Structure 1
Amino acid sequence: MTDLPRIMITRRLAVGATLGALALSGCAATSDGTTTGTSGVSSAAQEVADGTGVWDASAVHEFSIDVDEDALAGMIDTYQQTQEKEWIEATVTIDGTTYRRAGLRLKGNSSLRGVSDDAAPGDLPWLIRLDKFVDGQSVDGSSGFIVRSNSSETALNEAVALDLLAEAGLASEHAVASSFSVNGGDARLRLVVQDLDEDWEAENFSTDGLLYKSEAGGDWSWRGDDPNAYTDVFDQETGDDDLTPLIDFLDFVNNSSDDDFAAELPQRLDVDAFARYLAFEQVVDNFDDIDGPGNNSYLRYDAESGGFTVVAWDHNLAFGGMGGPMGGGMGGPGGMPSPPDGERPDVGDGAPGDGASGGGRMGGSNILVERFTAVEKWSDLVDRAEADLTKELFDSGYADQVLDQWISVLTEQAGDLVDKATVQQEADAIRDVI
């Protein structure tokens, strides 16, 4: 694909559809045209159309929040004291249309590190839910919006990564540049991303299922059959409350023998999509993924096949986006603190996943990644997927064109929020990776 008439290239899942079709026959395509018997579970992903309306990324959108100052201060105090993220009511205006009694709460983990009473609310990461207190309230079919933090001023790294994620045939999120303000304060350039909720799930998957979010403070250990043992470890985002499929999967991942793991995983996980996911995160240089310090991932259970798909989440550190040339300051007190000299952050005692491909993955350990990449045929599948994605996304010139489209939007429409020199500098840092 070389003709890009719009910033939001079709959010297609053609690769996922191909892998799904091959999975039905027990095969997966490789870069040399051969097949390997690796997958028995299809992700049931479907094509996603270009963003329209509020998700039209060819325009800079306006998001303004009006919220009671005392309620806002109380929310921040509660988070400082308990780490609990309370919901409060707010009036939200999106592109000139006002939505009253919307829900507003803090969103993030490391992006909230060091948040203080004097933090500028326009710089903090937020989750907006138009339907939190008013049933059915939405705009253009969406009710959930995440105002992202980033270590750069433009958030170009995450915007480009999400477009490439969709082109790679993996479930992604719509994202738009916005002029964001709170209580009449100075507007900030912020990336607004689609929340992974029921609306997102219906757009990306064609079957019924359950969506689980891996929490930053948790891990993928099996903690027994009691659902209460998984509080603050996984959070169920969609469907009726039911952790049974997740608990069964964690039991298998943690406790199966090596032979059983290799034989049975393809009936429990979309193996091909997972290999492509691991390869993608390596290609876009995002260490903060499923086995990174933020434990960033979702697990989607397909009620028809009985299998899982790993869903990518959190790309604000893509393209080496923490420190170094991408270091900046969007978010002020709520932004991502950059380590000295552009180094990767200290992630504690967790060791990187052992068998990961490419130039070396960083972050905490993840049992699924470790056991998956320890199986030679799947480790090889990751390596082949990385080579394929490098050709499809980078060597083809596709990523350059996506980046150029985002540059055009920011330089032509967001000049009051960020200067052209900054846009170009941060784009050049991405271009170096591409």
Structure 2
Amino acid sequence: MATVFGSTRIRPYITGDATVIASEIAENVQGTVDLFDTTVSHSISVDIDAGDYQTLKDSFQNEGVKESVPADITIDGTLISDVGIRLKGNSTLSTLSNDDGTMPGRGGGNAGADAAAAPADGAAMPEGGGMPEGGGMPDGVTMPDGVTMPEGATMPEGAAPADGTAPTDGAAMPEGGGMPGGAGMAMFGEPLSFDEPEDLPFLIDFAEYSEGRAYQGHTTLSLRPYTPALNESVSLAITEASGQATQDFTYTTYSVNDSTETTRLVVVAPDDDYANSLHDGDGVLYKTGANASFTYQGDDQTTYAEQFTQINARGTADLQPIITLLKWLDGADQAEFDAHLADYVDVDSLANYLALQNLLSNGDDMGGPGKNFYLYYDLDTKKFSVVSWDLNLALNSDSTAGAHDEVSMIPGGGGAGGGGMPQMPEGFTPPEGMEIPEGGGMPEGGPMLGNSLKDMFLDSTEFTDEYDAAYRTIYDELWASGRVLDIVDEVAASVPTSAGLTQEEIDADAAELKSRLQIRIDALADDPVVTGSS
């Protein structure tokens, strides 16, 4: 896309062939074995110069910018020099505090396309990112199944784990506020630290300093934090089993700067080739940034340049399809939405996407603070479909939520439709230094929740049948059949042990995740949508 900033407006244009101008791979590093062959073992080591690592750290802590720096990476014995490496994530990075415990600043750069969700000014997280000492849950708020209270915190009357089980006497939250059950993380992840680079989420860009370079056809890879992260890998496998577009993944042993070897999940980060492989026809893939309001803000494409990233077809397509969709959504009441949604969006695709996100208990989907989704614009049909992304918080929330219940990352639920802010639960006590505005909402400038496309679709009675049918089909084929339990076993079998991960830990996480999925199967068995009585 030829972009001119300032007073000159971009003239929208789009051709019928997204591959007319595609990013050519000039150097495709073959490696020794297929990185995404889960039947063989893999190893990855990363070396970052101390000065470059300090630059990466300072840019994030001081400005909230995820700056790319050079690094050398060795994959299955093959050395690739001078790749780009930067922090990656939205909700995940919300636990990566400064050295003094405060949250990083917010700035420009690529923070716009993939920014960490930071609290408003003055709303510093407690040291370590956990709940304040002695902080109890508010009345009526349920704990996600498997989560226990911190030492010294009281479980108020009416608060119980979401799976219906009673908390164990004296039970304490794992050190660092971690969530049990395959997730291996707290609601926003165990606190991360720059002192342990092997635990940080990184995006590897093979072409950053060598144009046209790829590794086995991939220009970018995502190194995920935490281990074994079965909730994310299993969610990716379930998404593939449902027939929806997803990303390939693999497990590897991993180290950074000769650190202790650990185990990490590697996921393909969508690039030009990935985008061109989606669906049957030509199309354009767009990444929605965590700072995107998903609202119409005029026709000037420069306004949206930091909110949406065009993945492919740069030079033959632009952001105009996104603007057209947002402009229509902005002016559509529910009647208009119901009558003409199918002119803009693949309704079946949207129904399937939303049904699966509910089944996966994913509170950080297209309506979550991370804005974790891609939009694919089909040049043949002129319609959008949604592609899921960053499922690291899936299978990590209320396993008893019904087919029409909201799955939220906020305690007690409570995302607000159309990009609004959730209200804090009654009795909520904020961490020291965090001021809650009058009315009880989240601080101004905090992460916006909701998505107008998602919210209007789920609010509509016109599309209830489509959503319910999609939900029932996916539940029957994958959950009721027990296929999701088999997927856990299959994925867990591909996870290698390392100094940082034992087989006992893998087995325990797999068992906990299967228990969580079984709770979901049982809880939905009598749901009116599943039984067809809704």
**What TM-score, normalized to structure 1?**
0.76
Matched, 1:125 2:179: no
CA 1:104/1:155 → structure 2, altered by over 3 Å: closer, same or farther?
same
Contact 2:296–2:326, Cα closer than 8 Å, also in 1: yes
Which whole-Å CA distance do the structure 2 matches of 1:348 and 1:86 have between them? Answer: 34
Deviating more after overlay: 290-299 vs 113-122:
113-122
Residue from 205, 214, 221 that aligns with 2:295: 221
Matched with 2:367 is: 291
Task: Report the 3-state secondary structure (helix = DSSP H, G, I; strand = E; otherwise coil) of the residue aligned with 1:368.
Answer: helix
Which whole-Å CA distance do the structure 2 matches of 1:317 and 1:110 have between them? Answer: 9
Which whole-Å CA distance do the structure 2 matches of 1:80 and 1:416 have between them? Answer: 30
Task: Report the 3-state secondary structure (helix = DSSP H, G, I; strand = E; otherwise coil) of the residue aligned with 1:409.
Answer: coil
Matched, 1:87 2:68: yes
CA 1:76/1:193 → structure 2, altered by over 3 Å: closer, same or farther?
same
Task: Report the 3-state secondary structure (helix = DSSP H, G, I; strand = E; otherwise coil) of the residue aligned with 2:462.
Answer: helix
Residue from 54, 69, 89 that aligns with 1:73: 54
Task: Report the 3-state secondary structure (helix = DSSP H, G, I; strand = E; otherwise coil) of the residue aligned with 2:213.
Answer: coil
Matched, 1:104 2:169: no
Which whole-Å CA distance do the structure 2 matches of 1:288 and 1:350 have between them? Answer: 11
Which whole-Å CA distance do the structure 2 matches of 1:374 and 1:384 have between them? Answer: 16
Matched, 1:429 2:512: yes
Task: Report the 3-state secondary structure (helix = DSSP H, G, I; strand = E; otherwise coil) of the residue aligned with 2:54.
Answer: helix
Deviation string for 1:98-143 (max 9, x for gaps)? Answer: 1112111111122222344643111111000112221332222112
Matched with 2:323 is: 247
CA 1:59/1:143 → structure 2, altered by over 3 Å: closer, same or farther?
same
Cα offset, 1:367, TM superposition: 0.5
**For 1:405-420, what aligned pairs fall within 5 Å after superposition?**
405-410=490-495, 413-420=496-503
- Compare CA radii of gyration and give the structure with the larger one: 2
Contact 2:417–2:452, Cα closer than 8 Å, also in 1: no
Contact 2:242–2:474, Cα closer than 8 Å, also in 1: yes
Task: Report the 3-state secondary structure (helix = DSSP H, G, I; strand = E; otherwise coil) of the residue aligned with 1:93.
Answer: strand
Residue from 453, 469, 472 that aligns with 1:384: 469
Residue from 374, 381, 393 that aligns with 1:317: 393
Task: Report the 3-state secondary structure (helix = DSSP H, G, I; strand = E; otherwise coil) of the residue aligned with 1:145.
Answer: strand
**For 1:267-346, what aligned pairs fall within 5 Å after superposition?**
267-320=343-396, 344-345=409-410
Number of positions where the alignment pairs a residue of Structure 1 with one of Structure 2: 352
- The AA in structure 1 aligned to 2:480 is D
Which whole-Å CA distance do the structure 2 matches of 1:271 and 1:316 have between them? Answer: 26
Matched with 2:138 is: none
Cα offset, 1:147, TM superposition: 0.8
Task: Report the 3-state secondary structure (helix = DSSP H, G, I; strand = E; otherwise coil) of the residue aligned with 1:75.
Answer: helix
Which whole-Å CA distance do the structure 1 matches of 2:487 and 2:40 have between them? Answer: 15
CA 1:351/1:92 → structure 2, altered by over 3 Å: closer, same or farther?
same
- The AA in structure 2 aligned to 1:83 is G
Task: Report the 3-state secondary structure (helix = DSSP H, G, I; strand = E; otherwise coil) of the residue aligned with 1:55.
Answer: coil
Task: Report the 3-state secondary structure (helix = DSSP H, G, I; strand = E; otherwise coil) of the residue aligned with 2:81.
Answer: strand
Matched, 1:157 2:231: yes
Cα offset, 1:353, TM superposition: 7.1
CA 1:103/1:348 → structure 2, altered by over 3 Å: closer, same or farther?
farther
Matched with 1:139 is: 215
Which whole-Å CA distance do the structure 1 matches of 2:66 and 2:492 have between them? Answer: 34
Matched, 1:374 2:459: yes
- The AA in structure 2 aligned to 1:131 is A
Gaps of 5+ in 2: 1-32, 100-193, 400-407, 420-447, 518-534
Contact 1:154–1:189, Cα closer than 8 Å, also in 2: yes
Cα offset, 1:170, TM superposition: 0.8
Contact 2:45–2:254, Cα closer than 8 Å, also in 1: yes
- The AA in structure 2 aligned to 1:111 is T
Gaps of 5+ in 1: 1-51, 325-342, 355-362
Cα offset, 1:432, TM superposition: 2.2
Cα offset, 1:286, TM superposition: 1.0
Which whole-Å CA distance do the structure 1 matches of 2:364 and 2:294 have between them? Answer: 16
Deviation string for 1:351-392 (max 9, x for gaps)? Answer: 1579xxxxxxxx822110121122213123212211211111
**More helix per residue:** 1
Q: Identical aligned pairs, as a percentage?
A: 32
- The AA in structure 1 aligned to 2:346 is D
Task: Report the 3-state secondary structure (helix = DSSP H, G, I; strand = E; otherwise coil) of the residue aligned with 1:142.
Answer: coil
Which whole-Å CA distance do the structure 1 matches of 2:412 and 2:70 have between them? Answer: 35
Matched with 2:277 is: 203
Cα offset, 1:149, TM superposition: 2.5
CA 1:253/1:353 → structure 2, altered by over 3 Å: closer, same or farther?
closer
CA 1:402/1:311 → structure 2, altered by over 3 Å: closer, same or farther?
same
Contact 2:281–2:378, Cα closer than 8 Å, also in 1: yes
**What TM-score, normalized to structure 2?**
0.62
CA 1:197/1:386 → structure 2, altered by over 3 Å: closer, same or farther?
same
Matched with 1:335 is: none
